[in-house]
Structure formats: C-alpha cells, structure tokens
C-alpha cells in the first residue's frame, strides 16, 4: 500500500575514510547556522575549520561520534552541554525579530485542522481549508480529476463530477471561480493542489466572488498533491474514494494549552508553528526559539556575547557580512 510519507531510513556508509566536519572556534561547537558558501559561522562570523572525525570500523560507533550526536541533540533541546555557556537558544529574542513576526487575526484556515484519508493510501495528509465558503467534513466520496485540470474553462467531464470530490490545480483563474464551476457541476467538494513551493498557504477571496459558494474547498501542498494526483490517475479505472475530516477548534497554543479560536490574535514563527500572540511574546522574552521545534529567530546581543565573538573574529582578521546585518 502506498503512503503519504513514503520515506525510508538508509544506514550510513561505513567506509574506513575519516569524516570531515565543519567546526567554529569561537562557538567551540559544530555551527548551528552558516553562510551560503559554508565558510563562516552566522552566529559569530568566525571562519569555519574543517576537522576530521575518525570513523569506527563497520558495526561500531566511536566515542567521538556519540559525543557529537549528543551535543547536537542537547543543542536542539536547549540543554546545557558545557556547564552554563551563553548560547543563542537561551537569550531573549531581539525586539526587531519579534516585531517582524507580525501578528494576525485567527481565521477559519488557521483554527481548523483538515485531514484527507484516501482509499489505498496509508495514513492521512493535512489539507488547509479556504477562507471562504463552508468548512464541513465530507464522508467517503469518489475522487475525480478535473478536465481541464486548472478548472479555468468549462469542464469536459461534467457528468462524472456529481456528488464527487473534484481535484484541480491552482492557477488559470481565481479560487472562487474554480469552486463555483465545480459546484455548478454538482461536486460535493473541491481539493485544489498548490503549484508552487509555498506552504502552508491559505486560499482567499478578495473580490467577493465566493458569496454564493456552498461546497467546501481545501488545498493540498504541491509535494503531496503531485503524488496524490498521479495515484488517482493510475487508479482511474478502479475508482478511488476519500474522506475529508474537519476538526474544528483543533489547534491549541502549546504555551498556554488553550484552543486558538477565530478572532483571536495569533502569531506564526518562521517554522509556521502558531501561538497566541501574547503567549509567544512572553515566551520570546526568555528564549529566542520556537517552543515546539526550536527553530530560532535573532537573539538580543548581550555585551559579553557581542564583544567576545566580534573581537575574537576581528583580531584574527576574520570578517563576515553578518557583522553589519545583525
């Protein structure tokens, strides 16, 4: 059976050659972030060194490898490895970085979780509802691919769409026009496939065309959607059915553990994890990382941190663009 998350673990090659690892002298660790050319540490501007790590014989793990893995793990979860050193993960976020996050009012798309379960595909995939029209579950309907695929012109297969979930690609016309065209053909609902690498993405209607929309519309990411469409086309002769499950008020702020409801002020981190704005601002006064995945935003520069890293780098004649942009 196919899977939405068809990823497999591949064991590392146990060749006898030594592994080369980049290392930052100022931070005294493997760099958490670096310049695009992988030559300098973005945290301090130091020029990175290439260090060779001895590789253990096949089937064994060296002490150095274990230490490296543990250090990386502790860095990610914010636990102190070296006895209390000043790290970016424990410094408050900078005021400018917090301001740039930009709060917004929670809407239908940001407070409702939608799961698509497809016959013949193991597991479920998350879709995003449009910010127009109803948002209701659809129980076991056949799935058909629109023709034309973008739904920008009259459908060639209207007779096949009645009471089914119609799949279309983004582009060619507005989201509302796609949905209205499918609705006129008698569709039970619409799944629109994102065509660019922007995710999550919310379908909106700024012109008011959707006021007569009476069927739900959902968006699926480009990565998952491509495989989904190929699967449906391959199984066209057999027929494919799907359930769309809408979970209202399913999103919770993990900081205060209270639901995020429509109308509340919320803020997204760069990783796209969302929280109540007030809760997140309080959190970022303590540390500059996401409460869920530890993705970081810029931290406040303490006098000690700013001077030590900059001066050490400049004494060696090392400079980085980040010195002027941080």
Q: Identify whether 206 is part of a domain.
A: yes
Task: Kindly state whether residues 179 and 259 are assigned to the same domain.
Answer: no
Give the angle subtended at the CA of 42 by the CAs of 40 and 46, to the nearest 5°. Answer: 45
Condensed to tens digits (0 to 9), the pLDDT of residues 107-134 reads 888 899 999 999 999 999 999 999 999 9
Query: Residue 142 CB: number of other CB atoms within 10 A?
Result: 17
Backbone phi and psi for residue 162, each to the nearest 5 degrees, phi listed first: -60, 125
The pLDDT of residue 85: 45
pLDDT over 90 at 188, yes or no: yes
* Domain enclosing residue 175, as ranges: 113-247
Number of structural domains the chain divides into: 3
**Cα separation, 23 vs 172, whole angstroms:** 49
Backbone phi and psi for residue 191, each to the nearest 5 degrees, phi listed first: -115, 120
Q: Identify whether 311 is part of a domain.
A: yes
Task: Kindly state whether residues 199 and 318 are assigned to the same domain.
Answer: no
Query: Are 64 and 53 within 8 A, CB to CB?
Result: yes
Mean pLDDT of the chain: 80
The pLDDT of residue 168: 98
Task: Kindly state whether residues 120 and 187 are assigned to the same domain.
Answer: yes
Task: Kindly state whether residues 142 and 180 are assigned to the same domain.
Answer: yes
pLDDT over 70 at 192, yes or no: yes
161, 123, 116: which is closest to 143 by C-alpha? 161
Q: Identify whether 44 is part of a domain.
A: yes
Q: Distance of alpha carbon 28 from its chain centroid, rounded?
A: 30
275, 300, 304, 270: which is closest to 287 by C-alpha? 300
Task: Kindly state whether residues 221 and 263 are assigned to the same domain.
Answer: no
Condensed to tens digits (0 to 9), the pLDDT of residues 89-103 reads 468 999 999 999 989
Q: Identify whether 264 is part of a domain.
A: yes
* Position 150 confidence tier, pLDDT thresholds 50, 70, 90: very high
* Position 25 confidence tier, pLDDT thresholds 50, 70, 90: low
Condensed to tens digits (0 to 9), the pLDDT of residues 239-261 reads 999 999 999 877 889 999 999 98
Task: Kindly state whether residues 125 and 230 are assigned to the same domain.
Answer: yes
Task: Kindly state whether residues 174 and 68 are assigned to the same domain.
Answer: no
Q: Identify whether 320 is part of a domain.
A: yes
Query: Are 268 and 274 within 8 A, CB to CB?
Result: yes
CATH number of the domain that residue 268 is part of: 3.30.40.10
**Cα separation, 78 vs 169, whole angstroms:** 41
Token digits for 295? 């993705």
Task: Kindly state whether residues 96 and 132 are assigned to the same domain.
Answer: no
- Region 231-243 average pLDDT: 95
* Position 34 confidence tier, pLDDT thresholds 50, 70, 90: confident
**Ordered strands of the 274-276 beta sheet:** 104-105, 265-268, 274-276
Number of helices and strands in the chain (H, E)? 8, 16
Q: Which residues contact 78 (CB under 8 A, 6 or more apart)?
A: 89, 90, 287, 289, 294
- Point out the domain boundary residue: 247, 271, 290: 247
Task: Kindly state whether residues 158 and 238 are assigned to the same domain.
Answer: yes
The pLDDT of residue 23: 72
Task: Kindly state whether residues 82 and 189 are assigned to the same domain.
Answer: no
30, 34, 10, 8: which is closest to 19 by C-alpha? 30
DSSP annotation of 159: G
* Position 274 confidence tier, pLDDT thresholds 50, 70, 90: very high
Task: Kindly state whether residues 151 and 236 are assigned to the same domain.
Answer: yes
pLDDT over 90 at 182, yes or no: yes
* Position 44 confidence tier, pLDDT thresholds 50, 70, 90: low
Highest mean pLDDT among 20-29, 47-56, 76-85, 139-148: 139-148
Task: Kindly state whether residues 124 and 217 are assigned to the same domain.
Answer: yes
């Amino acid at each position: 059976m196919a899977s939405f998350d068809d990823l497999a673990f591949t064991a590392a090659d146990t060749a006898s050659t030594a592994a080369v690892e980049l290392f930052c002298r100022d931070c005294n660790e493997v760099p958490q972030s670096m310049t695009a050319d992988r030559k300098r540490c973005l945290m301090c501007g130091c020029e990175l060194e290439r260090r060779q790590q001895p590789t253990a014989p096949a089937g064994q793990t060296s002490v150095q490898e274990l230490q490296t893995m543990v250090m990386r793990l502790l860095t990610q979860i914010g636990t102190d490895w070296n006895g209390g050193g000043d790290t970016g993960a424990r410094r408050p976020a900078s005021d400018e970085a917090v301001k740039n996050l930009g709060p917004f009012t929670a809407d239908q798309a940001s407070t409702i979780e939608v799961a698509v379960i497809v016959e013949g595909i193991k597991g479920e995939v998350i879709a995003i509802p449009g910010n127009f029209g109803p948002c209701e579950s659809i129980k076991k309907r056949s799935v058909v691919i629109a023709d034309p695929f973008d739904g920008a012109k009259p459908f060639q297969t209207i007779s096949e769409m009645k009471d089914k979930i119609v799949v279309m690609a983004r582009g060619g016309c507005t989201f509302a026009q796609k949905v209205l065209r499918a609705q006129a053909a008698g569709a039970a609902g619409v799944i629109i496939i994102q065509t660019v690498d922007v995710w999550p993405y919310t379908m909106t209607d700024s012109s008011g065309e959707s006021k007569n929309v009476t069927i739900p519309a959902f968006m699926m990411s480009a990565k998952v959607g491509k495989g989904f469409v190929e699967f449906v086309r391959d199984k066209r002769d057999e027929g494919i059915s799907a359930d769309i499950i809408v979970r209202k008020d399913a999103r919770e702020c993990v900081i205060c553990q209270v639901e995020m409801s429509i109308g509340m002020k919320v803020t997204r981190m760069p990783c796209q994890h969302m929280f109540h704005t007030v809760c997140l601002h309080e959190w970022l006064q303590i540390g500059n990382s996401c409460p869920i995945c530890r993705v970081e935003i810029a931290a406040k520069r303490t006098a000690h941190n700013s001077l030590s890293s900059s001066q050490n780098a400049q004494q060696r004649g090392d400079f980085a663009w980040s010195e002027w942009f941080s």
